[in-house]
């Protein structure tokens, strides 16, 4: 092992039993574990956040199986590289089996043409495709490839898993075992926690801490909480404003406001702002929620949300965070009614799918002379001419009489 290589690279597992974490798919009773061990693997798509072990798992599979392993990166590779890999796999002198495992990192970056170029070889079994992606493959990967692959969802590593790997790194000679290091268990736990499920971040931080800290008089490198904090990257919530996590986070934000949980709403708002989300996008979501989910239970919520959106546009960040927080808390704490939302949806469905009849003549417009002679506007009762400014008359078409769209609920203010 070349000790000049990054620690995260040196600590990659060599065999399946060395793999730490992801027990939900790699437990010994799970289908993926048994398939790999039996060398009966079909094409798979590994889907998960950075640092969860996608590339490491692909390397373990290459060591476990009997097929040639070819790696491509979708950022730097194209159709010619795919064809070269196929030719190499089919060369019986170089590869007697005539098959190979083709690992494509960041497969979501391949365009449709590039993904289509893979399809016949995957279908014929010339290559066993292992694609790795941080994006939702059901959105980003060719549906034909998805249908021929097992999609494996990898989760961010748990803190306890990262802690195990950090301890191994301190003990193993191809890790940091040749250094005399003193570090408290609590410091290692903080590194594992701050990494946010990304083992690569944790290992890089530990390595930087060790390599940049001079040896003390006692012959040891002492890694304190302060040194560790300065060495590891600032924790970022798992959020990509252009990716799958964007939709997950905004969904959680809206559902927290709808569910009347101001603390959760503020948390997901903070995640979005920390990840670089557009404040105006967030403001628009609050406006929508104020009408869709609060509605007539507190009409003032729409006023507050709209004012907040205007203020965010005028003020900008960082102060806009305060305005967004106030509006989100107001909407979350407000009483809820979706009666208006349900009403317009039902009405839209009716006008799109039913014969709803004609507008009653007495409430039609009669702007031109002579139209009244044909019944336009005749018999209309002007409500303000009647007590309480109300009068009974027909408004719905004959075919829709008796239809109820807006059904007021108990939360609506009288």
The pair phi, psi for residue 295, each rounded to 5°, is: 55, -135
Cβ burial 356-376 (10 Å sphere, 16+ → b, else e): beeebeeeeebeeeeeeeeeb
283 within 8 A of 327, measured Cβ to Cβ: yes
Beta-carbon contacts of 150 under 8 Å, excluding residues fewer than 6 positions away, are 32, 42, 43, 44, 45
189 within 8 A of 228, measured Cβ to Cβ: no
The DSSP annotation for 52-116 comes to SSHHHHHHHHHHHSSSEEEEEETTT--HHHHHHHHHHHH-TTT-TTS-EEEEEETGGGS-HHHHH
| Spatial distance between the Cα atoms of 329 and 332, rounded to a whole number of angstroms | 5
316 within 8 A of 310, measured Cβ to Cβ: no
Nearest to 156 by CA among 193, 116, 107, 205: 193
Beta-carbon contacts of 259 under 8 Å, excluding residues fewer than 6 positions away, are 332
The pLDDT value given to residue 350:
92
Cβ burial 141-176 (10 Å sphere, 16+ → b, else e): bbeebbebbeebebebbebebbbbbbebbbeeeebb
Burial (CB count <10 Å: 0-12, 13-18, 19+), residue 379: exposed
**144 token code pair:** 């034909």
| Spatial distance between the Cα atoms of 77 and 100, rounded to a whole number of angstroms | 18
Helix (H) or strand (E) holding 68: strand 68-73
The pLDDT value given to residue 413:
62
Provide the angle, in degrees to the nearest 10, between the axes of the packed helices 185-194 and 199-212: 130
**156 token code pair:** 């961010």
Distances (CA, A) of 42 to 17, 55, 260: 20, 17, 46
The pLDDT value given to residue 284:
95
| Spatial distance between the Cα atoms of 398 and 412, rounded to a whole number of angstroms | 29
The pLDDT value given to residue 332:
97
The pLDDT value given to residue 136:
84
The pair phi, psi for residue 71, each rounded to 5°, is: -115, 135
| Spatial distance between the Cα atoms of 330 and 287, rounded to a whole number of angstroms | 11
| Spatial distance between the Cα atoms of 324 and 33, rounded to a whole number of angstroms | 46
The pLDDT value given to residue 243:
57
Domains assigned to the chain: 22-153 (3.40.50.300), 159-231 (1.10.8.60), 244-333 (1.20.272.10), 340-400 (1.10.3710)
Beta-carbon contacts of 229 under 8 Å, excluding residues fewer than 6 positions away, are 190, 194
List of the chain residues with pLDDT < 50: none
| Spatial distance between the Cα atoms of 15 and 57, rounded to a whole number of angstroms | 9
The pLDDT value given to residue 60:
85
The pLDDT value given to residue 405:
93
* E-only strand ranges, 248-303: none
Encode pLDDT of 311-370 as tens digits.
999 998 889 999 999 999 999 999 999 999 999 999 999 999 989 898 898 888 877 677
């Amino acid at each position: 092992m070349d000790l000049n290589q990054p620690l995260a690279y040196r600590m990659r597992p060599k065999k399946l039993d060395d793999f730490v974490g992801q027990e939900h798919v790699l437990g010994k009773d799970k289908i993926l574990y048994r398939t790999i061990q039996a060398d009966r693997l079909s094409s798979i798509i590994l889907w998960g956040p950075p640092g969860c072990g996608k590339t490491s798992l692909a390397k373990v599979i290459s060591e476990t199986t009997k097929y040639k392993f070819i790696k491509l990166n979708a950022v730097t590779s194209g159709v010619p590289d795919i064809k070269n890999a196929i030719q190499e796999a089919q060369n019986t002198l170089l590869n007697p089996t005539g098959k190979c495992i083709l690992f494509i990192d960041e497969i979501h970056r391949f365009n449709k043409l590039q993904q289509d170029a893979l399809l016949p070889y995957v279908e014929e079994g010339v290559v066993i495709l292992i694609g790795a992606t941080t994006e939702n493959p059901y959105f980003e990967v060719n549906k034909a490839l998805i249908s021929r692959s097992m999609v494996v969802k990898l989760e961010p590593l748990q803190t306890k898993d990262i802690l195990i790997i950090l301890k191994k790194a301190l003990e193993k000679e191809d890790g940091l075992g040749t250094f005399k290091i003193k570090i408290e268990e609590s410091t290692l736990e903080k590194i594992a926690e701050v990494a946010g499920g990304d083992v690569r971040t944790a290992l890089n931080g530990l390595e930087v801490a060790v390599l940049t800290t001079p040896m003390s008089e006692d012959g040891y490198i002492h890694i304190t909480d302060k040194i560790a904090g300065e060495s590891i990257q600032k924790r970022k919530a798992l959020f990509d404003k252009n990716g799958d996590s964007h939709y997950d986070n905004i969904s959680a934000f809206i559902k927290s406001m709808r569910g009347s949980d101001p603390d959760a709403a503020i948390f997901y708002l903070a995640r979005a702002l920390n990840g670089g989300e557009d404040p105006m996008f967030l403001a628009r979501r609050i406006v929508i929620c104020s009408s869709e989910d609060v509605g007539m239970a507190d009409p003032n919520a729409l006023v507050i949300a709209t004012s907040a959106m205007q203020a965010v546009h005028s003020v900008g960040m960082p102060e806009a965070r305060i305005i967004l927080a106030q509006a989100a808390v107001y909407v979350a704490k407000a009483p809820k009614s979706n009666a208006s939302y349900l009403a317009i949806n039902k009405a839209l469905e009716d006008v799109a799918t039913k014969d709803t009849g004609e507008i009653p003549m007495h409430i039609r417009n009669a702007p031109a002379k002579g139209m009244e002679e044909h019944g336009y506007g005749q018999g209309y009762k002007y409500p303000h001419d009647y007590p309480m400014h109300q009068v009974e008359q027909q408004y719905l078409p004959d075919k829709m009489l008796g239809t109820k769209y807006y059904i007021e609920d108990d939360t609506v203010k009288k």
